[in-house]
Amino acid sequence: MVPAYKSCDVGLDRSLIGAYGQDDRVCAYPALTAIMNIKEPEKTAVAILADKEEIGSDGNTGLNSDFLLHIIGDLARMQEGQVSIALRNSKCLSADVNAATDPTFQDVVERKNAAYLNYGVVVTKYTGSRGKAGTSDASAEYVAEIRNMLDNAGIVWQTAELGKVDAGGGGTVAMFVANLGIDVVDLGVPVLSMHAPFEVTSKFDVYMCYKAMYEFMK
């Protein structure tokens, strides 16, 4: 069951998008569009669109299965390589949203470590609940690498956590990728009223997410 109304522009300047289910299609769309627009990437580029993230990523279409391992293994064997070496040399952006600060409910976020609409794509070093439980924590070196990539490409970005400790929290699929030995960090679009029937995002942030995905995969 989904809401009957269609997506629409929001705001006096129509700078926002209002629709249901933007978590996480608002990140999947920029990733898919970016890889479709790349003609000759310097290295093998892969966009994985996984299912069931909200219920634990289980099942053969969720990222908690072995299908990503098998895909990379197949690609490595086609070039007479080893899957373990391919995994160690792989890098990943886990495309998932973060919670945008709602001025009406500021008590559930740490304002100096929270995402804001129209401030660009969000880099989330770690997610989880009760601190960092149930997450991967990107290395400082890899975060610096992504930060330099964004700066050099002129992409507007911000960093954020997923709410105050014990007041917010949540997880992404990054930990399943990290368990394969791949460097990974979360990068996505801030969403207002996440998981509500009417979520709100910024067109500017979505565009910055696309630019980040394109720059990363090219």
pLDDT tens digits along 45-65: 999 999 888 888 999 889 999
* Mean pLDDT for the stretch of residues 126-150: 90
The token duo for 3 is 């809401």
Q: What pLDDT does 143 receive?
A: 97
Q: What pLDDT does 24 receive?
A: 84
How many Å apart are CA 160 and CA 142, to the nearest integer? 16
The architecture CATH gives domain 15-41+91-217: 3-Layer(aba) Sandwich (3.40)
Taking only the tens place, the pLDDT of each residue in 144-200 is: 999 999 999 999 999 999 888 777 778 889 999 999 999 999 999 999 999 999 999
Q: What pLDDT does 181 receive?
A: 93
Q: What pLDDT does 54 receive?
A: 84
How many Å apart are CA 87 and CA 107, to the nearest integer? 41
> How far, CA to CA in Å, does 168 sit from each of 1, 110, 179, 208?
26, 10, 24, 25
| Cα 136 to chain centroid, rounded | 13
**With left for phi above 0 and alpha for psi between -120 and 50, is residue 204 left, alpha or beta?**
alpha
How many Å apart are CA 204 and CA 162, to the nearest integer? 21
**pTM attached to this predicted model:** 0.93
Taking only the tens place, the pLDDT of each residue in 10-44 is: 999 999 999 999 998 999 999 999 999 999 999 99
Among 174, 192, 173, which Cα is nearest to 114's?
A: 192
**With left for phi above 0 and alpha for psi between -120 and 50, is residue 108 left, alpha or beta?**
alpha
Under DSSP, the state recorded for 9 is E
pLDDT band at residue 109, thresholds of 50, 70 and 90?
A: confident
Which residues are within 8 A (CB) of 108 and not within 5 positions of it... i.e. 6 or more apart? 163, 164, 167, 168
Beta carbons of 94 and 178 less than 8 angstroms apart: no
